[in-house]
Structure 1
Amino acid sequence: MRLNYQATGPEDAPVVLLGSSLGTTHAMWAPQLDALSERFRVIAFDHRGHGDSDAPDGPYAIEDLGGDVIELLNELLIERASYVGISIGGAVGLWLAENAPDRFHRFALLCPPAYPAAGAQMWTDRAAQVRAEGTKAIVEPTLTRWFLPEYAAAHPTEVEIIRQQLLTTSPEGYAACCEALGAMDLRPALADITAPVLLVITESDASVPPETVIPLAAQIPGAHLEILEDAAHLVTYSHPEQINKLLLTHLT
């Protein structure tokens, strides 16, 4: 399984992996790259079925997505790294924290789903819709959940960048990742996580509601929870200064 990635920062610096949101590519981390690359070797990658990564037929499982990250570490001869993920990238991070603790130092997980809070059928239906109509069918509702109206109105260029990523995502890859989200439940092993974990959520996240993430902080030993106001799901784009400060503090 070949994952596409972009590497920035000093080659001899500690490594940080960046796992992106459903329907986006590694390019969504542009607001973080300069800040992180000053101190870290940053590997921003595309999940399977996204960007220029391989897109096998689905369904996928969260184990597949997490296993791809381990394969990428092996390919790059990286023994241990830290991991930052948002949305489905955050779910992948939870799986890695539970299943590959020897390969990671720290985790920063932004708006991470641990289970299908809205029910598995929602993800099954969305996968079927995208296979039938393409990702264009879900773009506008997704952007409405990801950005507050005032941010979208004031930053049309940034929103357009994300729109284009959604539009160009493989329908099969997107749908198969939906099926992975619908089938997973990472809650039973949360208490086994040993790495330091930062959880970041937003008050106005309609994609991964804060009330579904807040309990995770009590179940993950030593987890630190940050709740950002006046922000929706794609907080890395809308609030980069706050996110970058939190990431640098946690990862350093």
Structure 2
Amino acid sequence: MTILHHVAYGEDNDKTLVFIGSLGSTTAMWVPQLDALHKDFHVIAVDHRGHGSSPLVNVTPTVADLATDVLETLDSLGVEKFGVIGLSLGGAVAQYLAATSDRVTAAAFLCTAAKFGEPQGWYDRASATRENGTASLSQAVIERWFSPGWLETHPAARENYEHMIIDTPAEGYALACEALATWDFTDRLGEITVPVLTIAGADDPSTPPETLQIIADGVSGPATAEVLSPGAHVPTLERPEEVSALLAAHFK
């Protein structure tokens, strides 16, 4: 059993929302949303295994394994039904949960994909991370996470989030890359029957709006697709008010 590090607020609310972040992130990726939504929801954010303060499990996981981590953590908290919100890698985990767990009541998928490119690219990134550490890729990752204009006007935030990536253990990052290498949910999107919100960044080089539209078009439940402009791969931090408002309206 893997119990993930988590933060929780608004514990006296009946509606629970679970936030699952990207590769190389911690629960800090969700701070604006946790602040904005805790009055109306019980909000819980988790660190993936090998990220932040969660334990490193020294075996290559699948996205299904990462989803099991989330469910086991929620079991430990006594949470049954929940809405799930995932970004990038967390969006893959959220897709899997929405399709396979009857505990999910609704879902939001942010800047994610049913398939993230070809496997070899992820195996190469895992190998490079093991060899050179997460510091070697932090600048390139940050430049995908945020649009150029935002980075130019937020130098302190840039440095802070670069350190989030640098502080991610190399092996935890590499193992998560290997999980993404085997992720392809394209033919299973129809298993998602709960209400879905997708949010894309207009300037996101990793998962552009058309990638999120594939998910919105592929699920069986009702789906709404939103695009934020400007915005890159982490709109939770670049466009926090808009993201929080969209989530509040979707999960109300």
Q: Normalising by the residue count of structure 1, what TM-score does the alignment of the two structures yield? A: 0.96
Q: For residue 227 of structure 1, what is the aligned residue in structure 2?
A: 227
Cα distance, 1:144 vs structure 2: 0.8
Partner of 1:188: 187
CA contact (8 A) 1:19 1:85 kept: yes
Corresponding residue for 1:241? 241
> Aligned residue for 1:151?
150
Mapped to 2, the partners of 1:10 and 1:66 lie a distance apart of: 22
What is the CA RMSD across the aligned residues, in angstroms? Answer: 1.1
Could you tell me which amino acid in structure 1 is paired with residue 54 of structure 2? S
8 Å CA contact retained: 2:84, 2:98: no
Q: What is aligned with 1:251?
A: 251
Give, as a single letter, the amino acid of the residue that structure 2 aligns with 1:71: E
1:82 matches 2:86: no
Alignment correspondent of 1:162: 161
The range that moved more, 213-222 or 231-240, is: 213-222
Distance 1:10 1:173 in 2: 29
Which residues of 2 match residues 192-211 of structure 1 at below 5 A?
192-211=191-210
Count residues in correspondence: 250
Letter paired with 1:140: Q
Give CA-to-partner distance per residue, 1:185-223, whole Å, 9 cap, x none. Answer: 111111121111101111111122222221221111221
CA distance in 1 between counterparts of 2:54 and 2:34 reads 20
Map of 1:5 onto structure 2: 6
Deviations 1:130-187 (A, max 9, x none): 0111101110000111111110111112222211110110111100000111111111
- Cα distance between partner residues in 1 of 2:33 and 2:156: 17
CA distance in 1, matches of 2:161, 2:92: 20
The runs of 5 or more residues in structure 1 that have no matched partner are none
Contact 2:50/2:173, CA 8 A, preserved across alignment: yes
Deviation readout 1:22-67 (Å, 9 max, x if unpaired): 1010011111111110101111110111011111113211011011
Residue identity matched to 1:19 = I
> How far 1:77 sits from its partner (Å)?
1.1
Counterpart of 2:109 in structure 1 is 109
Identity among equivalent pairs (%): 39
Query: Is residue 121 of structure 1 aligned with residue 124 of structure 2?
Result: no
Aligned to 2:44: 43
Measured in 1, the distance between the counterparts of 2:162 and 2:114 equals: 25
Instruction: Say whether the 8 Å CA contact 1:58–1:175 is kept in structure 2.
Output: no
Q: Tell me which stretches of 4 or more aligned residues in structure 1 moved more than 4 Å.
A: none
